Structure 1
Amino acid sequence: MSRTSVLALRLAGPLQSWGASSRFTRRTTESAPTKSGVIGLLASASGIERGDDARLAPLAALRFGVRIDQSGTRVRDFHTAHHGVTGASMPLSERFYLADAVFVAAVEGDHTLLTGLHDALRAPAYPPYLGRRSCPPSEPVDLGLYEDARLEDVLVSVPWQASVWYRRRHRTPQNLTVLRETAADESAGAADVLRDQPISFDAAHRRHALRTVVTVPVPTPIPAGGSRAQDAHEPFAALDALEDESA
């Protein structure tokens, strides 16, 4: 029997956009990363081309979950574009993003496959992005490979990843929200359905299937604190101190 492990990712950046039902000139975003978007990030890091459905299939079969550590703010952008050849104006479109959001995403599956994906994240064939190419992550997304682990346990135990400035300005929440796929031996219960199960990323016939998602609260784990390298420097600390003195 093959070993089951979990690969965890920290998805944080100035902007993120995770569309699941965008059509025509209105490009919306879900409130949390989609399976299609995260599998696309892993496939890109592994160098899997858009039309290579055979190599995509094992990644799409991984069990997926995400924890909302910092929900961010939904923002809207009016987007203009011009045809690259004729220069003609393209239709005006609305594009929605999540600003200043932080998520912990995780995939569960075969240990050997996840080991390869873990290596790919640390030396990606193509740069990762958070739903759209215009949304790069603010730091490396790798949070580690958890051997012989379960998706539920990792999403409960990974330290709270909210930004330092966010933790300084907000109380630590009692619970965080987790959206995940059910296990094979688990009843779906009250579940939602989302069309973000990737089948093909080929631009000519991009296809997605329905996926069942359960939403559960989990206790907020101990924050990551100042142990992360990016936490060592807080550029607005001096301004915050001045505000506190003048209050």
Structure 2
Amino acid sequence: MSVLVLLLAAPLQSWGASARFARRTTEPAPTKSGVLGLLAAAQGRDRTADLSDLAALRFGVRIDQPGTRIRDYQTATHADSGKAMPVSERFYLADAVFVAAVEGDEALIDDLHTAVRAPVYLPYLGRRSCPPARPLDLGVRTGADLRQVLRTEPWHASAWYQRRRRSEQRVDLEVFLDADAGSGPGDSLRDQPLSFDPRHRRYGLRTVRSETVSVANPQARKTRRVTVPAHDPFDALNEETA
């Protein structure tokens, strides 16, 4: 098995799971359907293509920089009639950074890695208005375990954000993983893609488990070891009485 590691960083991101109609919310972390959709587009797959091989990949994401949730108020009109469309609210994550990873068969992971480096369709982070600010490719870890990769990958938060926490030598980051069979209860999220066909998009439930990992802060203050010289205030008195 191999693991493809992706860096998802942008001024704006939006990862909807259950949002519909005029109110489009965002999850606090990238969804499996969103990331697999990005990979399918990079490969140039048609929206009606079979997704079973991608859906079978094990997925995980780490929140390196949570960002700020913001709301955008939008209006629009029909191009032909000029009739106003319903007012909509769109929610985004501003200045967020995530490390996402998919684990699967080595051949498929290598194909996806090639596609990420030379995508057929330009990638975006949840919505077309959210292009990535940094290269997506963090490489492939051959013979690796998804959970271990997300535990050991260096911290990719922005330098200014790392400096904000420079008093901490290590930082705790939240990780969300596909739950293993028999691993116990977790949270359910409807972001398991079944079809991206625009005529009838379909998503199944996925069980997600969360945990906390600790990583080093490269911007942490270096601790200085101060050597205090030995000093006995009675030494001077002893010298006078000698």
SS at match of 1:89: coil
CA contact (8 A) 2:171 2:217 kept: no
User: One-letter code of the match for 2:127?
Assistant: R
2:85 to 87, 90, 101: 90
Which amino acid is the alignment partner of residue 110 of structure 1? Answer: D
| Distance of 1:142 and 1:168 partners within structure 2 | 24
Q: Structure 1 residue 23 and structure 2 residue 20: aligned? A: yes
Compute the displacement of 1:163 (Å): 0.4
Higher helix share: 1
Q: CA separation of 1:78/1:106 partners in 2, compared to 1, >3 Å: closer, same or farther? A: same
Larger Rg: 2
Q: Structure 1 length as normaliser, TM-score?
A: 0.85
How well do the aligned residues superpose, as a CA RMSD in angstroms? Answer: 1.5
Q: For residues 151 and 163 of structure 1, what CA distance do their matches in structure 2 show?
A: 23
- 1:102 equivalent to 2:97? Answer yes
Which of 113, 116, 119 aligns to 1:118? It is: 113
The percentage of counterpart residues that share the same residue type is 61
Residue 171 (structure 2) pairs with residue 177 (structure 1): no
Q: Compute the displacement of 1:190 (Å).
A: 3.9
The counterpart of 2:6, out of the listed 6, 9, 15, is 9
Q: TM-score, normalised by structure 2?
A: 0.87
Selected match of 1:130 from 125, 130, 135: 125
Partners in 2 of 1:213 and 1:70 — Cα distance? 20
Q: Which amino acid aligns with 1:203?
A: P
Paired position in structure 1 for 2:35:
38
2:101, 2:146 within 8 Å by CA — same for their partners in 1?
yes
Residue type matched to 1:157 in 2?
A: T
- Listed as ranges, the gaps of 5+ residues in structure 2 are 221-242
Q: When the two structures are aligned, how many residues end up with a matched partner?
A: 218
Q: Give distance in 1, aligned partners of 2:41 and 2:218.
A: 30
- Distance apart, 1:168 and its partner CA: 1.6
The equivalent of 2:223 in structure 1 is none
SS in 2 for 1:220: strand
Q: Deviations over 1:188-221 (max 9, x none)?
A: 3341000000000001010000000000011124
Question: Residues of 2 paired with 1:223 and 1:51: CA distance?
Answer: 44
Query: Which deviates more from structure 2 when the two are superposed, residues 125-134 or residues 166-175?
Result: 166-175
Match of residue 153, structure 2, among 131, 146, 158: 158
The answer on whether the counterparts of 1:111 and 1:147 sit within 8 Å (CA) in structure 2 is yes
Partner of 1:193: 188
